[in-house]
Amino acid sequence: MADLSVNFAGIRAPNPFWVASGPPSNTAYQTHRAFEAGWGGLIWKTIGTPIVNVSSRYSALDIGGQRMVGFNNIELISDRSPEVNFQEIAEVKKRWPNHAVIASLMCESREQWHEFIRRSEDAGADGIELNYGCPHGMCERGMGSAVGQQPLVAERITGWVMEVAKIPVIVKLTPNITDITAAARAAKRAGANAISLINTINSITNVNLDTFASEPSVRGMSSHGGYCGPAVKPIALNMVQSCAADPEVRMPISGIGGISNWRDAAEFMAFGAGTVQVCTAIMHHGFRIVDDMIEGLNSYLDEKKMCSVDDLCGRAVANVTTWEKLDLNFRQVARVNHDTCIGCNLCYIACEDGAHQCIDLLNPDSLGLDLGPGRVPHKHVPKVREDDCVGCNLCTLVCPVDRCITMVEVPTGKPPMTWVEYQAKVASGEMKPLPPHH
Amino acid sequence: MADIQLPMRQMEARVEANRCLYCFDAPCIHACPTGIDVPAFIRKIAGGNEIGAAKTILEANILGASCARICPTKVLCEGACVLHDRDEKPIEIGRLQRHATDFVNDRGIHVLKPPAKMNGKRVAVVGSGPAGLGCAAELAQLGYQVTIFEKSKLPGGLNTYGIAYYKLKPQLSLNEAELVKDLGVEIRCGVEVGRDISGEELQRDFHAVFLGLGLGDGNRLGIDGENLPECLDALDFIEQIHTDPLHEIPVGHQVVVIGGGNTAIDAATQSVRLGAKQVTMVYRRGESQMSAYPFEFEKAKHDSVHFLFDSMPISVIEVDGHVVGIRLARTRMTADRKLEMIPGSEFTHECDMILKAVGQEKQAEIMRGIFPKIAVGPGGVITRDQMSGATNLPDIFVGGDCANGGREVVNAVGEGKKAAHGIHAFLAGERASLPIQPSRLGVDGSASGCGLHNPIRAHELEAQWEADRSAKNSGAHRG
């Protein structure tokens, strides 16, 4: 069994699976349930000057009958008083001394930041997370993403925090920004101990075509919300990797965004996340999902002969580079396994209409394939014209059968050549420009 | 009498529709004798466009609502579904089709409109059963003025009178006839061609004639006592269920059904539902030779129907002019594969009702009566071109049971449709292009063709499954 315990920027926890700041981390009651279920840490729902919420707060994107592929909310930070929140943090810490409890804060002035940091520390919080991300409600009052979107402002406020903080400080980044590393660097310059990302993305999930109201609908009106859930994972991974790869950032990262299972979590870790935070998946299925996350990560680490999360952390970061450094002389083609092909022809129509027209539907008799795929005798068979195939992957992506279409490397016999090298060779006359579909 | 198959709830239909892979040039289209663009209509249901789905279905098959209930989907579209080969349940195409067609029926939405312009040509259709309606609907959409002649009081043929009640209510069949009327087709019920109007008159008044007469009366057993009042033709018995109040239909306590086909099964299961205490099916051959579909056979077993295989009727036993039993004998196959009675094997089976389901008469004589020069082939069916329904007489076309000897309703619709295109080719001198199906858009003309042109017959699929099974058992790979 691998050791799942973590020391994240000085915060210790029995495992890297933390409950993200949000509805599931609102109260001591929920926190007890979370820790009983096995979560290693929890970021308290953001504490600040209490707000008032609207009724009707969440909406979701369902795709193909699958619920909550994406999730949207217009709920604000904690509506409970700081007194109650800090008192409950203290209660939780007394009962769970080895679990990480982090106070998420959102304040309006330097004085309030200082006061809330002190009160967090007095309550026994293991760390502080600065909420610079909330894209709705709070930003209109000069907080949340209004801070996170301006690196200089974020840096200044983080500076105020660092003046007094004795416990580790995590800056939570908003993805609603052109270059995430600018925000990460600002946190670094201000002396923060870690970053967490991503917060939610600006969103409107839908329009009701009968009422023309959007959801969540508050008496027929809606507001721009924050988007999260499985659909945002690729966006989050991109930003986490960008921060992890940036030499000017180099600080612990807590990964957030669409994590629903151990595999998602492991991917964030491979891109440099030391811990991961989960909210939407808990809102969907409850705290119990952590059981599988712990088991799954453990099995994976054992299988890969890794002893701890540290062994996994960052393993994939260097395998993402800029496009211009990719090898133009690498070539792969698609190959259809006719024994497992079920004859749906999705590869054919995708290639024909959506890509590069290099799959033919051929009579199975002409290919010596007996009856052909599927259950209608002698129905036509998709076959890739490998000379024309550009190796784009589309057919493998649409194929509904596992490993039926595989991409096979075709040795070109040529040494690797990047775009930069190619440009230089063409400029010097060493080679002619490559034809399309080379 | 409750539906044997329940309609889908909205959410259930959405979820099921979303399971569909939306195959391109899908096998289910090939397997449908009317070539319904199945993936296209299912995708429309998935997106909440039930009206569009119904339009896709009804444009291809005017009897889409009844076929959704009575098609042997397990050996047609659903049997061809690619999900079988992913070891998954096939898409419930029949129930989704019912969902879409019910949606427009329940709301009285008309999805098909008559063409804006008529071409001035008139076609007579004889018989308003599935073949006749299929032909008339297609012709009407091509701009022809169509008149259907129906000898019965009500239109719809077998669908109105001859399908088990728990599968298809007659009202639905009548609604489908209304759909055809909505396309501008005139249906003249109670007019028998050959009696009320002659073949010559049809040829004189119309540019072409389609014959879709179906099959005739049930075959006789040719045994003593067959004419007793409790010895009925199974189709007449089923017709009663459609036309009379259920509580007034006489049914025996102990019913014997003679025959091994799908109609025999319908008669048996209907008897059980009408309160028969014991229903016994008597078939002269073995279980594997039954022409009923395996899933129909299962249905009968589920209804506690008893089976006497390898047995044949000898005579009906009567007391005071009523049936009290039937004399049966065991049968066996001779060396030259002929069926013979085993001497001395006779036995008596008590019963108070006998339903005969041993096939229907061919209509060859009637058709020869209408058109004396029409060519009749072996087996008493009209000789015709498979693709166009053309007969030896240039202006006479044929399709459905009277041409194929008796197959599924959906085959009859498909043949009616093919004949409509045959008629169009004959009268307009051109081959009408069939409506383009989005799921096949761009398929090379030389590809294997849609269901309409190249219908997969149930037995072909079944044969392939057998081959698959034996290949799997021997560990060999397909393909």
Length of chain B: 479
Cβ contact, residue pair B479, A380, below 8 Å: no
Smallest CA–CA distance, residue A200 to chain B, in Å, is 28
CA–CA dist A156, A161 (Å, integer): 9
pLDDT exceeds 60 at position B472: no
pLDDT band at B25 (very low <50, low <70, confident <90, very high): confident
Dmax (CA) for chain B in angstroms is 71
- Which residues of A fall within a CB distance of 8 Å from B48? none
Q: Which fold has domain B10-111+438-473?
A: Fumarate Reductase Iron-sulfur Protein; Chain B, domain 2 (1.10.1060)
Which residue in chain A has the smallest CA separation from B39? A344
pLDDT reading at A222 higher than 90? yes
**Cross-chain Cβ contact B465/A375 below 8 Å:** yes
Q: Which residue of B18, B444, B447 is in closest CB contact with A64?
A: B18
A-B Cβ pairs (cutoff 8 Å, strict): 86
Chain A 371-390, residues with CB within 8 Å of chain B CB atoms: 371-380
| CA of B80 vs chain A CAs: smallest distance (Å) | 5
What residues does each domain of chain A span? 6-319, 323-428
**In the structure, what pLDDT confidence band is assigned to residue A245 with cuts at 50, 70 and 90?**
very high
Dmax (CA) for chain A in angstroms is: 81
Distance of residue B398 Cα from the nearest chain A Cα, in angstroms: 27
> What are the tokens at B409?
């309703």
Is residue B199 over pLDDT 90? Answer: yes
Dihedral angle sign, alpha carbons of residues B232, B235, B236, B238 = positive
Contact A58, A227 (CB under 8 A): no
Give the pLDDT of residue B447: 32
Q: Catalytic: which of A107, A134, A347, A358? A: A134
Residue B406 in contact with residue B28, Cβ under 8 Å?
no
Assess whether pLDDT exceeds 70 at residue A336: yes
Question: pLDDT value at position A23?
Answer: 97
pLDDT score, position B476: 42
Whether residue A377 is predicted with pLDDT greater than 80 in this model: the reply is: no
- Mean pLDDT of all residues in A159-187: 96
Q: Does B306 touch chain A (CB under 8 A)?
A: no
Report yes or no: B477 at the A interface, CB cutoff 8 Å. yes
pLDDT in tens, B319-338: 999 999 999 999 998 888 88
Maximum average pLDDT range among A68-82, A146-160, A353-367: A68-82
pLDDT in tens, A35-47: 999 999 999 999 9
Q: Which residue of B has its CA nearest to A372?
A: B479
Average pLDDT, chain A: 94
Looking up tokens 């080379």, which residue turns up? A438
* pTM for the full predicted model: 0.84
Distances (CA, A) of B424 to B207, B208, B410: 11, 9, 21
Q: Among all residues of chain B, which has the CA nearest to that of A361?
A: B447
Residue B453, pLDDT > 60, answer no
Rounded to 5, what percent of chain A is helix, strand, coil?
35, 20, 45
Of A406-415, B49-58, B93-102, B448-457, the one with minimum mean pLDDT is B448-457
Residue A381 C-alpha, separation from nearest chain B C-alpha, in angstroms: 10
B96 touches chain A (CB under 8 A): no
> Which one of 3.30.950.10, 3.40.640.10, 3.60.21.70, 3.20.20.70 gives the CATH number of domain A6-319?
3.20.20.70
Report B:134-163 residues touching A (Cβ under 8 A): none
Task: Give B291's pLDDT tier (boundaries 50, 70, 90).
Answer: confident
| The 3-state secondary structure of chain B, one letter per residue | CCCCCCCCCHHHHHHHHHHCCCCCCCHHHHHCCCCCCHHHHHHHHHCCCHHHHHHHHHHHCCCHHHHHHHCCHHHCHHHHCHHHHHCCCCCCHHHHHHHHHHHHHHHCCCCCCCCCCCCCCEEEEECCCHHHHHHHHHHHHCCCEEEEEECCCCCCCHHHHCCCCCCCCHHHHHHHHHHHHHCCCEEEECCCECCCECHHHHHHHCCEEEECCCCCCECCCCCECCCCCCEEEHHHHHHHHHHCCHHHCCCCCEEEEECCCHHHHHHHHHHHHCCCCEEEEECCCCHHHCCCCHHHHHHHHHCCCEEECCEEEEEEEEECCEEEEEEEEEEEECCCCCEEECCCCCEEEECCEEEECCCECCCHHHHHHHCCCCCECHHHCECCCCCCCECCCCCEEECCHHHHCCCCHHHHHHHHHHHHHHHHHHHHCCCCCCCCCHHHCCCCCCCCCCCCCCCCCHHHHHHHHHHHHHHHHCCCCCC
Span of A348-357, B42-51, B463-472 with lowest mean pLDDT = B463-472
Same fold, A6-319 and A323-428: no
A375·B25 Cβ contact <8 A: no
Q: Report the residue of B11, B16, B23 to disrupt the A interface, i.e. the one with the largest count of A CBs within 10 Å.
A: B23
B23 vs A378: CB contact, 8 Å cut-off? no
Does A143 have pLDDT greater than 80? no
Q: What is the mean pLDDT of residues A13-19?
A: 98
Read off the pLDDT of each residue in A208-234 and give the average, rounded to a whole number: 95
- Phi-psi category of A257—alpha, beta or left, where left has phi over 0 and alpha has psi -120 to 50? left
pLDDT of amino acid A29: 98
**Residue A61, helix vs strand vs coil:** strand
Cα distance between residue B456 and residue A415, in whole Å? 53
The torsion angles phi and psi of A283, rounded to 5 degrees, stand at -60, -30
Confidence band for B478, pLDDT divided at 50, 70 and 90: very low
For tokens 């809102």, name the residue: A283
- Please name the residues in contact with A13: beta carbons below 8 A apart, sequence gap of 6 or more: A5, A6, A40, A41, A98, A99, A100, A275
d(CA A133, CA A173): 6
Q: For residue B433, is it left (φ>0), alpha (ψ between -120 and 50) or beta?
A: beta
- Contacts of residue B464 in chain A, CB cutoff 8 Å? 371, 375, 377
Please write the tens of the pLDDT for every residue from B102-147. 999 999 999 998 888 899 999 999 999 999 999 999 999 999 999 9
pLDDT band at B359 (very low <50, low <70, confident <90, very high): confident
From A152, A381, A184, select the one nearest B27 (Cα to Cα). A381
What integer is the mean pLDDT of A282-287? 97
Mean pLDDT of B345-363: 90
The gap from C-alpha A74 to its chain's centroid, in whole angstroms, comes to: 20
- Contacting residues of A for B479, CB less than 8 Å apart: 338-339, 341, 364, 369-373
Could you tell me the end-to-end alpha-carbon distance of chain B, in angstroms, rounded to an integer? 46
A residues 343..372 contacting B (CB < 8 A): 343-346, 348-349, 352-353, 361, 364, 369-372
Are the folds of B10-111+438-473 and B231-356 the same?
Answer: no
Answer yes or no: do A339 and B30 touch at CB < 8 A.
Answer: no
pLDDT tens figures, B398-449? 999 988 888 889 999 999 998 998 999 999 887 655 555 556 665 554 333 4
The answer to whether the CB atoms of B80 and A375 lie below 8 A apart is yes
**What token pair was written down for A57?**
């707060």
* End-to-end Cα, chain A, rounded Å: 49
Amino acid in position B430: E
Note the CATH number of domain B122-216+361-428.
3.50.50.60
Q: How much is the pLDDT for B363?
A: 78
Write out residues 52-91 of B within 8 Å (CB-CB) of A: 79-86
Q: What percent of chain B has pLDDT over 90?
A: 56
CB contact under 8 A, B456 and A376: yes
CATH 2.30.30.100 fits A323-428, yes or no: no
pLDDT band per the 50, 70, 90 thresholds, residue B302: very high
pLDDT band at B360 (very low <50, low <70, confident <90, very high): confident
What digits encode the pLDDT tens for the residues B118-129? 999 999 999 999
Give per-residue pLDDT as tens, B1-17: 677 778 999 989 999 99
Task: Please count the other Cβ atoms lying within 10 Å of the Cβ belonging to residue B423.
Answer: 30
d(CA A73, CA A135): 10
**Annotated catalytic, A134?**
yes
User: Scanning every residue of chain B, which has its alpha carbon at the shortest distance from the alpha carbon of A340?
Assistant: B85
pLDDT-based confidence at B479, cuts 50/70/90? very low
Of A259-263, B448-452, B456-460, the range with the lowest mean pLDDT is B448-452
Fold for the domain defined by B231-356? FAD/NAD(P)-binding domain (3.50.50)
Residue B389 CA to residue B65 CA, distance in Å, equals 24
